[in-house]
Amino acid sequence: MEGTVDGFRYGVVTPVAAYVMACLGGALGLRCIVRSLIDRQSWKPGWLALGAASIGCGIWTMHFIAMIGFQVEETRIGYHLGLTVFSLAVAIVVVGLGVFVVGYRGAGRATLCLAGTVTGLGIAAMHYLGMAAMQLNASIRYDPVMVALSVLIAIVAATAALWAAVTIRGFLTSLGASLVMGVAVSGMHYTGMAAVSVHLHGTVSSWAGDTPTSLLLPMLVGPVVFLLLAGVVVMFDPLLVLGDGEWNRPRPPAPAQEERSGRTAAARSWSHGQG
């Protein structure tokens, strides 16, 4: 028996909230990566790790906020705790691989393609691991064409995001890139969900698992709090709140250098006067 699938149980609330979280994670991640590139004296691994964790948490949070709005009318849905947490780890680790590759090797064509492919496959893996964590009295099947399209969207989105991370420096342009990234990630998710069909089991099981709200909402608190704290770090970092091109302006000389320069100029003037 075919199940009745509804991906928008709460209307536009869950898609909009999911999109906002994807944009927030993308914006924070891009700014952290930019921060690692504009100041060679900063702790580069730390900023890259914070950027990767922000993007990974944003993507994962986007997925499970969207899944709160997913239901099959004929059966309850629960989630396996271990697989749900594992999907978050996959998102952060694989995004981190791509971020560190472009952070240290730049945005050459071959490097970007490799990093984007690995990261995109990781995003897709996170999505389908999250789907595998679902527990319901039915089996889930996928349209192979739609699955392939969702993976392709994930790879393109990841490649574009990594390219933006190492080439776009301005605040407003980074913000625009994060909005586009949010569209791409959301598009990948809902393309993957369009591939889903649910085939109900003939008998009703006595399964008693956690509901989406009882499990997902508490689990979402951690990544959301992390994103907010990362946002505070970014907001209060001087280099990241400067306008476009501010970090490229020459720094004024230190007071000691100014004093030495003044003494040198005075000595030269005195020697010319003696001559």
β-partners of residue 71 are 6
pLDDT, one tens digit per residue, over 127-137 is: 999 889 888 88
Chain centroid, CA 110 distance in Å: 22
| 57, 88 Cβ separation under 8 angstroms | yes
Query: Hey, how many other C-beta atoms are within 10 angstroms of the C-beta on 93?
Result: 14
d(CA 124, CA 154): 6
Which residues, given as ranges, of the chain have pLDDT below 70?
A: 39-42, 169, 171, 202-220, 222, 230, 233-275
pLDDT, one tens digit per residue, over 138-158 is: 888 999 999 999 999 989 988
| 227, 24 Cβ separation under 8 angstroms | yes
Q: Whole-prediction pTM value?
A: 0.77
| 1, 198 Cβ separation under 8 angstroms | no
d(CA 175, CA 27): 6
